Structure 1
């Protein structure tokens, strides 16, 4: 029986590994293109201009999280479960309603911020020259929200390659084509126009790809239970606001309030570089989350833990060389962006440690969400968010960029450790790397 269980576990893991392999390739291409894009932006704009770009970008990403209302992750959960039994009408219904909801809310926010951009630039950041770039970038609230949503929809429908193209590859590819002429002509505003146009094109590609999926063609959409959708989405909304807005972007925003645009430019570049580590985790997530949903639907916790541990071990093993490079050679890596960025080496090393904790804890948040424990994930995220904001205000005045990095890294560690503890309490499983188990399998 044990041998049979191990054989089944390895069969499931091979399915995940095959899916993750193509995801790794696409994520690797996307990560390389994104790194090159950030280098080009930094070289063209300098630290000061890059700071204005990152301040407007972070504002729009926060707005996008608000606009999505947790619907992207909620629809991921419902579509993933419907895929198990091929309930096509239900899948199409969830996708169409989620698109309509997100388009409406993001449009309202985009118009509001575009109008209020001069006030935000002066009274929040103390940088009047941010007004025009922020007004332009606000339009991306719609395009980036739709890009994120359709990527999650494709992922849930097991369309992994298109999902990876939409979420990580096509935007930096398109932006690299546009960035030089637009920035040369319009400066920081040109970089922001590039972001708006590129994300809009990629979102359109994702929507067209979804509509051309054979299983969804000619299907009459079943109106979803919107009350159930929002019941699931509301805890997720609070969760994603903290995880995708507060924890990654609050230190940068607070640095923008308390520091200089040049500080923000250096820290923003370090943050984007540190996120390269995450492409291993995100690529694995793309392959493994539908499998997790399948295990949970069948109440097969043993296979879930076995595959989860193997996936986390593989991800950590692949990411270690990158993480060590960032820690030991941060200054040299940051100098690629330009001489004035080299002072961000310490910040990059600190951020890399925080992302390492994220890697070794694995997809704990997604597991709890798929199982229906959104409120538990939300509470852990809120704890991490409080750490982020509190430490940012406490450390940035004295430590500057290093203080922002410390606040970010510690908040990531705290929230992920909390999630790991809760996964054991609620589901009695652990997906931390298990080197001995992985070796024997």
Structure 2
């Protein structure tokens, strides 16, 4: 019981810290960019968020559940196999979306939003779709291993900390695009950190990755994909899109 209580308190504390750091990061962006610039930043970020949710294919809870089940049974080969398959699927999907976003950014910015100034921010932010999708799946996978601290460092704390360190020099260098470079670099660094956490926690576990069933994974993640798309991508950003459409 004490272990459960300690884990709960740790998770709560890290989430509070992460929320505080994210708030500070957002305030800094607003102060540095002004109203117009911060609008461009968050509009581009919304595309990254939606793209990463689509690119994750509903695998968030699927990886968490399957990894936790196999770990409880001591099936290490299955743990490593399902992680490898999930990451491969998400890398292909989110990587494709990142390239499409980069290529189609002029059309999206001008034809859909009638915002020529959105082209460059959207182009650079699209590249964050891949690392942002992967780091979220890494966090869920680490939760399946019961590595809650590592998971929350990746999912809640990493990006704002690195972003705060980078935002001042890069925004001074490139304006809105510079702030997006800071965010992009932060997601890449945190993704690499997530990989290191996974390796640290699984290298000691004996067993090579097995060839996991793609059909099993797809059956599980299909219904979760629709739910994730609505709850994490469309609904949170709906007021923002509406306000920009009316502007």
Normalised by the length of structure 1, the TM-score is: 0.55
How far apart, CA to CA, are the structure 2 residues paired with 1:180 and 1:173? 13
Given the alignment of the two structures, is residue 236 of structure 1 paired with residue 224 of structure 2, yes or no? yes
1:117-138 deviations in Å (ceiling 9; x for gaps): 0110012111110000000000
Alignment of 1:399-410 (within 5 A): none
Given the alignment of the two structures, is residue 133 of structure 1 paired with residue 97 of structure 2, yes or no? no
Given the alignment of the two structures, is residue 174 of structure 1 paired with residue 169 of structure 2, yes or no? no
- 1:184 corresponds in structure 2 to 172
Q: Structure 1 stretch 217-226 or stretch 176-185: which is displaced more?
A: 217-226
- 1:107 corresponds in structure 2 to 95
1:38 to 26, 41, 51: 26
Number of aligned residues: 247
Given the alignment of the two structures, is residue 84 of structure 1 paired with residue 72 of structure 2, yes or no? yes
> Residue 148 of structure 1: CA displacement?
0.5
Q: 5+ unaligned residues in a row in structure 1: which ranges?
A: 1-10, 260-441
Given the alignment of the two structures, is residue 200 of structure 1 paired with residue 188 of structure 2, yes or no? yes
1:301-320 deviations in Å (ceiling 9; x for gaps): xxxxxxxxxxxxxxxxxxxx
> Residues 89 and 220 of structure 1 are in contact (CA less than 8 Å); yes or no, is this contact kept in structure 2?
yes
Q: Structure 1 stretch 69-78 or stretch 111-120: which is displaced more?
A: 69-78
> Residue 251 of structure 1: CA displacement?
2.2
2:43 to 38, 55, 63: 55
- 1:157 corresponds in structure 2 to 145
> Residue 16 of structure 1: CA displacement?
3.0
- 1:315 corresponds in structure 2 to none
Q: 5+ unaligned residues in a row in structure 2: which ranges?
A: none
Query: Post-superposition, which runs of at least 4 consecutive aligned residues in structure 1 deviate over 4 A?
Result: 214-218
> Residues 159 and 187 of structure 2 are in contact (CA less than 8 Å); yes or no, is this contact kept in structure 1?
yes
How far apart, CA to CA, are the structure 2 residues paired with 1:78 and 1:253? 35
- 1:64 corresponds in structure 2 to 52
- 1:73 corresponds in structure 2 to 61
> Residue 31 of structure 1: CA displacement?
1.6
> Residue 214 of structure 1: CA displacement?
4.6
Q: Which has the larger radius of gyration?
A: 1
> Residues 171 and 202 of structure 1 are in contact (CA less than 8 Å); yes or no, is this contact kept in structure 2?
yes
Task: Compute the RMSD of aligned alpha carbons.
Answer: 1.3
SS of match in other structure, 1:222: coil
> Residues 124 and 257 of structure 1 are in contact (CA less than 8 Å); yes or no, is this contact kept in structure 2?
no
1:210-263 deviations in Å (ceiling 9; x for gaps): 01215655521122221011001111111100111111112212322222xxxx
